[in-house]
Amino acid sequence: MVDVADSGNGWTTMKRRKVEKLRREFSANVSHELKTPLTNILGYAEMLDSGLAAEADRAEFIRTIRSEAERMIGLVDDIMLLSHLDEGYSSDAFASVDLGEVVLAAADALQAKAARYEVELTVDPPKSPLVVEASASLLAELFHNLIDNAIKYNRPGGTVTVSAAKESGRAVARVADTGLGIPAKETSRVFERFYRVDHSRSKLTGGTGLGLAITKHIAQVHDADITLTSKEGVGTTIKVAFPSAIKGRVKSSQGRSKKRKK
């Protein structure tokens, strides 16, 4: 029997098989990521319910249950956003957005977290409005993820510098850190779903493993180029270059979308 849809088109078959393989891998990863916190929650809940938990341990068990529940909520939120982006995002919803304001708002929202990690977070804003056609909420998500990662994978006394400027007619933003850096062999994979360079650190910081995958998708939605340069032990810089900076007044609100606790 001949599959009419694939007749004479081996490329279509290969592409379909690749998509199916990625879908299976994604489902397996989601199952694993959800099973671990659920197992922890069940274990601690059973100890509390049975009375086996010592009084001195009860508060810690409750904190762990809450932390694991928040981790699952964050994972579900990220999966839903990725699903939304995979389905396609219409540029009809775009408006004129000041990139400088979005960057400033994202950095401001993460100043307290930077302080907790003993990381200095600074912003070098554009000299004048840097307007792009975009979704303000998606850009807020993109820069939140980039700055959040730069803080979490840093070191006490380290720095994160966020900048935005017009370069060769394009609106360009950078997030640069003096953190742990990424081994050269890993840099091509950091934007993959659920890929983690440092599994132990990701677990400690509560990451879902989807932040950079979401960032990449959001950049693609805006026809923006995203590039990463990193040196292990020195730091990482991620650059996002939008197609063009436009003239005109900003039409849309720059307010950040509501973020979950991380």
CATH topology of domain 4-86: Helix Hairpins (1.10.287)
Other CB atoms closer than 10 Å to residue 77's CB: what's the count? Answer: 15
What region does 211 belong to: left with phi over 0, alpha with psi -120 to 50, or beta? Answer: alpha
DSSP string for residues in 138-192: HHHHHHHHHHHHHHHTS-TT-EEEEEEEEETTEEEEEEEE-S----GGGGGGTTS
CATH class of 91-241: alpha beta
Domain ranges of the chain: 4-86, 91-241
Q: Is the pLDDT of residue 20 over 80?
A: no
The pLDDT tens digits for 185-228 are 888 888 887 776 664 455 555 566 787 888 998 998 899 999 99
Q: Rounded distance, CA 26 to CA 45, Å?
A: 29
pTM of full prediction above 0.75: no
Other CB atoms closer than 10 Å to residue 8's CB: what's the count? Answer: 7
pLDDT value at residue 260? 44
- Name the DSSP letter for residue 246: B
Q: Which residue has the higher pLDDT, 21 or 115?
A: 115
Percent residues over pLDDT 70 in the chain: 74
| Residue at 189: amino acid letter | R
If you average pLDDT over each of 156-170, 200-214, 233-247, which comes out highest?
156-170
The pLDDT tens digits for 45-98 are 988 988 888 888 889 899 889 888 887 887 777 777 777 777 766 666 789 999
